[in-house]
Every structure is written in structure tokens, then in C-alpha cells.
Structure 1
Amino acid sequence: MADDTKSIIGLIGFYDNLHETQPVSNYPETIIALAVSFLAVTWACVIFRIYTRFFIMYSPGWDDVFVVLVLLSGTVGSICECIATRYGMGQHFILISAQDRIMYLKFFYVANVTYCCSTAFVKLSLLFQYLRIFKTGRMRVVCIVVMITTALWGLAYSFMAIVPCFPIQKYWTLTLPGTCYAFGSLVAPAFYATYASSAAINMTLDIIVLCIPIPIYFAENTPFKSKIGLIGLFAMGVLINFISIWRVKTIVEHRAATFPTFDPTWYGPISIELATLEVNFASICASIPVFWPVLTARLDKVFVTREIKVERIHRFETVDEDLDGLGGDGKYGDGVELQQSHRTRSNTSTGGGGGGGGPHSRATSESSLNRSRSGGGGPYYGGGSGNSNMHYRDEYVAAQVDPLSSVGKVELEISAQPVSRKVSREMSRKNSRAQMLKKPSRHQDG
């Protein structure tokens, strides 16, 4: 068993672990496949989110800025992870050449910096997103407090990852003179404590950020669809927390790749892959609530095969005989509605004594209808009282009154148009002629 007081250099080859079976997570194919596939999904989700915020909702914010930072830092980390497979990642550290060790530690240095930054950026993005919901109240204060804590934690550990040694080159050149601490410490307990504390705080903050929106779910005014969406987000959040807990377990199991011997290329890949998955899942979880409602609405329009528009229009009957003596085919309305107005129905019922009908009731109804046609400038222009002018906004009726008008290009506000003397005279003569033709039939019926 390794002595905790020994240095990192003394732990290299301290225990013979060459007989251990290579785990699946150490295969280069596994490392590259996981990194590339999840990075592609993350890029797609973040692009959809940014497009929705900038070009559909027109409401970009600080949460979008931090999501883009997560995407950029995570992309750099994933690229370094894939390239590191060429320099011994997944193999035993003691079997790698000295030049490959230096190259591996260089790429691991960059990957570790991007991971520390990404975990802080993604939490800040979610917290800024919560501030859009909690405008006031206690939950907004909680978000601000957690945001400040996360920013300080991310700043501290990111700085220790960026400057682990003085000079920085000593991090990948172990024999170079200088001083190292935290992530670059050459003392095994300090080295292990740095990685374990970073992972533990990260896991705790993940749980806190996940629990902040829980009150929204139990609020009485939260719609059912919003609750379903929150359940989906909680499920993804639980998965992210499961990954962070799993990563803590792998770090503790081998004491940050220092137990039973210092072998970072052999014991480290599983922790690096879980870190990549955690960052990518967190970015996806932060992006889906923004673009998913818009995406589903667009898909509904794409899959609509037929659209039927039903309209109900009241028109006036037309006649084929020349009633006004002006010639022509007589294709214009005689002023009789196909459906009786409220005023005509009330006159008919009162004139007929409640349902008797008879010639007197028909005469009363028709005289009322004639008065509505001729009073106040005529029905075609909305003059007179009652609800008659509500039917005359129809383009068909307007075309019969004035065929030379540009029907369909200008909204017809008939009640506001002046009455033409010529049209009024023609309509009055036409109505009188129609009454004379219809009177004999009414007397015969009587």
C-alpha cells in the first residue's frame, strides 16, 4: 500500500498494476465516440437556443452568454480529450515514453482548465435563467446568493487549474525546478484533496441548482403543461447529479489516480469521460426549455396536411328580370335579405298576433321590410336603425351596389360613406317598381 507522505514522483511504479484488465472506458474508440456524439448534440441544442432567443423571442440575456461560454470551453476540452488518446490516454503511465507523458499532461492541463470553467459557467447560466422567472421575492434572493457562491467557487478553482505551478511549464515537466500546489501539487494528499473537494462542491451546487425551481411545480397557478416540462427537466437534472456523484466515486476510489500507484492515464479516463458527459448534459438541460416550445409549434405546422376555412356570409338574393327599365341583365340585389333581420322578425311576430300569420301579418312584415329598405339612405349604405348595417360589409353586396369600386382592396366601412344622389334615386325607383309588381299577388292571397 502506498504511503500518503510520498510524493507523486515516488508513487510512479510504486505498485504493479500491469495485470489489471483494461476497462471499456480506457479504449480510444469509447473515449472519442462519447466525446464527439454528445458534443454534436450539445452544439445543436445551443444553436437552437441562441436562434430562438435572438430571432424569435428577441430577448437574449446573460444566461445565453454563459451557455455559449460553456459550449466553447466544453468543445476545447473534448478536442483535447480526443487528442490525448494519441499520447497514452487509456494506457499505463509507466509504459508511455517521456515525450508522450509531456504531451499527455499538456492536453490534460487544458482539459482540466476547461472543465473547471465549464462547470461554473453552466450553473451561472441556469441561475440567470431562473432570474427571468423569479422577478421578486425570496427565491430571487436565493438565486443571487447561489450565483455569488458559484462564481467564487468557479473563480478559485479555475485559477488553481490555470496556474497550478510557478512556472506553469512545471505541471507537465515534473523535473523542472519550481513550486506547485493544488492541481499541480507533487504531494499525494494535497493533490487528491484538490480534486476531491472540487468534485464534492460541484456535486453539492448541482443539487442546489436543481432544487431551486421546485416551488414552481407546486404553485397553484402553474399550468399542467409547465409541470410536465418541469418533470422532464428534473429528470435530466437527476441524471446530471448522478453523473457528478459517480465521478466523485471514481476520484475517491483511486484517490485521484494516486492509489495504489500514480497512474493518471490508466485510472483517469473514466473520471474525464464523466466530466465531459456532465458538462454536455448540463448544457442540453439549460437549452431545451428555451427552444423546445418553439420547435414543437413549428413541427405542428409542418405536419398539417389540410386546412379548411369555413365562412358564414349573409347575402341578398339576385333577380334576372329588368325591374328598373335601365336594361342590362338585372344581376343586382333587390334588397331582400336571405335571412330576416332581428327587426323584421319582431315586426312579423307582433303583426301576426303571436303565430296566426294571415295576409295582414304578411303585409305588415313586407311594409316593415320596405321601410327598412328605403329609410335613412337605404340599406345598402347602412342608413336606418337596427342591426341591418352589420350585413352590408360583405364584398358581394358592395359589388352589387357599386360595381366600379375596388372591392377587396379597401376595407368596407359602409356606414361612413356618403350617399350618392344618383344611386339613391335609382334605388328608390327600383323599390317602388318592385312594390307595384308584388301588390297584386298580396291582394290575391288576401
Structure 2
Amino acid sequence: MPSFEDMLLAALQNPPDPHEPLPPVNRKATIFGVVIPFLVLAWIAVLFRLWVRLRVVKEPGFDDAFVLLSAILGIGGTTCVCLSVKYGLGHHMLDLGPDKMEKYFIIFYIENSVYLMQTAAIKISLLLQFLRIFKAGAMRRVCLTLLSIVTLWGLAFAFAGWFPCFPVRGAWQHRIGAKCYGFGLSDVQEFFIMYKIHSASNMVLDFMIFMTPMVIFKTPTLKVKNLLAMAGVFAFGGIVVAASIWRLHAISTAQAATHPYVDLTWLSPVIVILSCLEVDFAIICASMPIFWPIIERSLAAIFVSYEVDVTEEHIQNDYGLAYELEHTKSARQTSLRSVSGTSLEGLTGDYANKAPKFSIGPDPLNETSSRDATFQASVRTLPKPKWEI
């Protein structure tokens, strides 16, 4: 099997055309313009999620910790991608020179290892989130089995990423003759196989994880709006799976940026961008079921008003977590609150055409009032006029 040095020598004997136009995907503006905005969107989703879990429902969990870990790793990975552009990403490796090439390999080593950890962290977060839904039965066992597999998978590839050579500096100093394997680039074919194995297994696990909660759609009491909301979440999951499939295809076509010759900086921008997008979409997909119901209720409060607005009742906090379908809810509490459009109806209730009724006690100033007399007051829902601000 050809070594990295052999492939590099072959590239020197047949150098690329120095006047070859730079493909759009290799340009700095394209790379920055894709990875940075989607990282920002992912962080917005994470912050909304943490706000809901910590301040609204006050039920944080390990799934929140792992999604936060994935987002933090995303900052590190995206920073490495942006730095790698400075040190040659998007240009031919032979044009970099020895010093610049070594700096690129240092950044590539960190970037690749961070990505391997990030893919495992977001999968663990999703599975822990599913365990909030499936409290018992076969689906819980499926989630626990997948959680064990993903944990071992993540640990194995994280070790392979951070320790590809012994000593480790052999991953970017190929001339020292370190003992390397897999991502260490001592053997080009082995490097490609390692990349392909991780990408293929990552795609399969993504598909299995995002198909797991599909059983929720069989619940007969779900309202149409909740079905549509969950369909939107699964649509994001489909984008994640599609990105992982596209990434596997790109790795196979370019043989992990080693075909027709080793040119990691020229052939890998597509792979790098898809890696970033895949994880960012997974973070957004994991966070949407947590914060979107709160946003929906807030919008309803803005655009819907009521005529009679005071009632006393025993309520049970839901906060829109029907999308997660959690079986545990917050403790019951008594409150005096305004009747508003943010109250969730039952999963199967249809009150669109019904006016709610409220009991009003007898008038203490009316001498003819009896102690047991009650009155019914109908309340009409009035859409706020479009011209009101």
C-alpha cells in the first residue's frame, strides 16, 4: 500500500495546473459563509433550549449537558476550519510549502478529533432525550441499546482521532517516522478506509436514531398541530441523514481527498463543510422540540385576546412539552391567572368553535341572591385586528 510520502512524491512528479480556477466551494467566502452562520443558528437553538429547561420548566437533564458539549465542540471545530483556510484549505497542498503544510496538519488533527467527539455527543444527547419519552417497554430498551453502542462507538473513534500516532506529533510531523495507523496517514489506503468506516457507521447511526421516535406517530390521541410540529422536527432529522449520506459519497468519490493524488487541502472543502452542517442541523433538531412550543404560545398570546379574563383554577404546567411527550409533568399548583391563548388544550380537544364558560359567584350586594346561585358567562375569542400593533 502506498505511504503518504509515496503519494506526495507522485503528486510532485505530476503537479496540478497552477492556473487552475478555484472552485466556488474552495473559496474563503463560501467556507466562512456556510460554517459560521449555521454555527450561530445552532447556538441560538441551544440557548433557547437551555432557557426553557433551566428557567421555564426547571427540568434540566444530561441530554442538555451533552447538547451543550456538542455546541462547545462546534465552536472549536468551526474555529479550526476557519484557521485551516488561512493555512491552505481550498488550495493545492503542493503550493503551501513545508512550514505551512505542517501547520495545516496540526489544525486538521484537532479539527478531525473534535468532529469525532461532536458526532458522538449529539447522538448521546438525542438518545437521552428519547429516554424522557419512553419510560418503559421495548422502545426504552431500544434507546438504551443504541446509547450503549453510540457511547462505545464514540470512545473508539475519539481515541483513534486523538492518538493516531505514537508519539502523537507524528500526525503532523510525518518525517519523524512515528508509528501511525488510520487517521495518522502512514498508509493512504488505511486512511481512506478509516474515514469511510466512520462516515458509513455515522450515517447508519443517524438513520437509526432519527427513526426511533417515529413510533410516536402511532399515538391515536395526538392533535394535528402536534403531528405537524413533530413532522417538522423529523424533517430536520432527514436533513441530517441526507448530509451524512452526501458526506459519505464525497469521501468515497475523492477517497478521503487522496484521489487521484494526495491533496487534502484542495479536495476536502466539500467534506469539511458537510461535516459542519451535519452536526449543526443535528443540534437544531435536538433543541427544537424543547423551545418551539414556548415560542408558539408566546406568539399566540400576541395575536389573540379575550373579553372576560379572570378565573381561578387548578392547573398543571405543560409548557408545550407535548412535542417531547414526556410522561412526567411538573407538580400541580393553584394560581390566579388571566385566561389567554397560551393555554394548551388536551391532545385531542377541539375548542376552535366553542366558547369557554366560567362560573361567577352570587352578587353579595343583591338581596335576592341565594347562597347557591351561580351564573354562566360565555367568553368569545377575538382575533386582534390586523391594524393594531
TM-score (norm 2): 0.79
Q: In 2, Cα distance between the equivalents of 1:391 and 1:142?
A: 57
Q: Classify the secondary structure of the residue corresponding to 1:186.
A: coil
Tell me how far 1:272 sits from its aligned partner.
0.6
Matched residue, 2:225: 225
Contact 2:362 2:371 in 1 (8 A): no
Q: In 1, Cα distance between the equivalents of 2:231 and 2:285?
A: 12
Q: In 2, Cα distance between the equivalents of 1:307 and 1:222?
A: 26
Matched residue, 1:186: 186
Q: In 1, Cα distance between the equivalents of 2:138 and 2:362?
A: 58
Q: In 1, Cα distance between the equivalents of 2:24 and 2:14?
A: 22
1:72-87 aligned at under 5 Å gives the runs 72-87=72-87
Contact 2:362 2:372 in 1 (8 A): no
Matched residue, 1:426: none
Matched residue, 2:99: 99
Contact 1:77 1:115 in 2 (8 A): yes
Q: Deviations over 1:123-175 (max 9, x none)?
A: 11110011011100001111111111111111101100001111111111111
Matched residue, 2:372: 390
Contact 1:52 1:290 in 2 (8 A): yes
Q: Classify the secondary structure of the residue corresponding to 2:371.
A: helix
Tell me how far 1:90 sits from its aligned partner.
0.3
Matched residue, 2:308: 309
Letter in structure 1 aligned against 2:213: P
1:252-267 aligned at under 5 Å gives the runs 252-267=252-267
Higher relative helix content? 1
Matched residue, 2:134: 134
Q: Classify the secondary structure of the residue corresponding to 1:119.
A: helix
Contact 1:90 1:265 in 2 (8 A): yes
Identical aligned pairs, as a percentage?
A: 34
Q: In 2, Cα distance between the equivalents of 1:98 and 1:392?
A: 89
Contact 1:92 1:263 in 2 (8 A): yes
Matched, 1:63 2:74: no
Letter in structure 1 aligned against 2:85: T
Q: In 2, Cα distance between the equivalents of 1:248 and 1:392?
A: 69
Matched residue, 1:442: none
Q: Deviations over 1:225-268 (max 9, x none)?
A: 32212211221111111110110111111111111110000001
Contact 2:93 2:264 in 1 (8 A): yes
Matched residue, 1:9: 5
Q: Classify the secondary structure of the residue corresponding to 2:260.
A: coil
Contact 1:15 1:261 in 2 (8 A): no
Letter in structure 2 aligned against 1:156: A
Greater shift, 48-57 or 213-222, is seen at 213-222
Q: Classify the secondary structure of the residue corresponding to 2:372.
A: helix
Q: Classify the secondary structure of the residue corresponding to 2:44.
A: helix
Letter in structure 1 aligned against 2:139: M
Q: Deviations over 1:54-100 (max 9, x none)?
A: 11111111110110110011110001101111111100000002111
Greater shift, 277-286 or 30-39, is seen at 30-39
Q: In 1, Cα distance between the equivalents of 2:277 and 2:254?
A: 20
Contact 1:91 1:265 in 2 (8 A): yes
Q: Which has the higher contact order (CA 8 A, sep 6+)?
A: 2
Tell me how far 1:185 sits from its aligned partner.
3.0
Matched, 1:36 2:18: no
The CA RMSD measured in Å over matched residues stands at 2.0
Q: In 1, Cα distance between the equivalents of 2:373 and 2:218?
A: 50
Matched residue, 1:120: 120
TM-score (norm 1): 0.69
1:11-410 aligned at under 5 Å gives the runs 11-12=7-8, 13=11, 15-18=14-17, 20-304=20-304, 307-309=306-308, 315=363, 335-336=367-368, 388-391=370-373
Matched residue, 1:411: none
Contact 1:92 1:265 in 2 (8 A): yes
Q: In 2, Cα distance between the equivalents of 1:222 and 1:15?
A: 63
Q: In 1, Cα distance between the equivalents of 2:71 and 2:204?
A: 22
Higher relative strand content? 2
Q: In 1, Cα distance between the equivalents of 2:245 and 2:362?
A: 70
Q: In 2, Cα distance between the equivalents of 1:217 and 1:313?
A: 44
Gaps of 5+ in 2: 310-357, 376-389
Contact 1:63 1:125 in 2 (8 A): yes
Q: In 1, Cα distance between the equivalents of 2:239 and 2:368?
A: 72
Tell me how far 1:391 sits from its aligned partner.
4.9
Q: Deviations over 1:323-360 (max 9, x none)?
A: xxxxxxxxx87x346xxxxxxxxxxxxxxxxxxxxxxx
Letter in structure 2 aligned against 1:17: P
Tell me how far 1:20 sits from its aligned partner.
4.9
Greater shift, 173-182 or 190-199, is seen at 173-182
Letter in structure 2 aligned against 1:171: A
Contact 2:49 2:287 in 1 (8 A): yes
Matched residue, 2:317: none
Letter in structure 2 aligned against 1:6: P
Q: In 2, Cα distance between the equivalents of 1:23 and 1:186?
A: 29
Q: Structure 1's 291 and 392: CA in aligned 2 closer, same or farther, altered over 3 A?
A: closer
Contact 1:167 1:179 in 2 (8 A): yes
Q: Structure 1's 217 and 336: CA in aligned 2 closer, same or farther, altered over 3 A?
A: closer
Q: Structure 1's 309 and 162: CA in aligned 2 closer, same or farther, altered over 3 A?
A: same
Gaps of 5+ in 1: 317-331, 338-387, 394-446
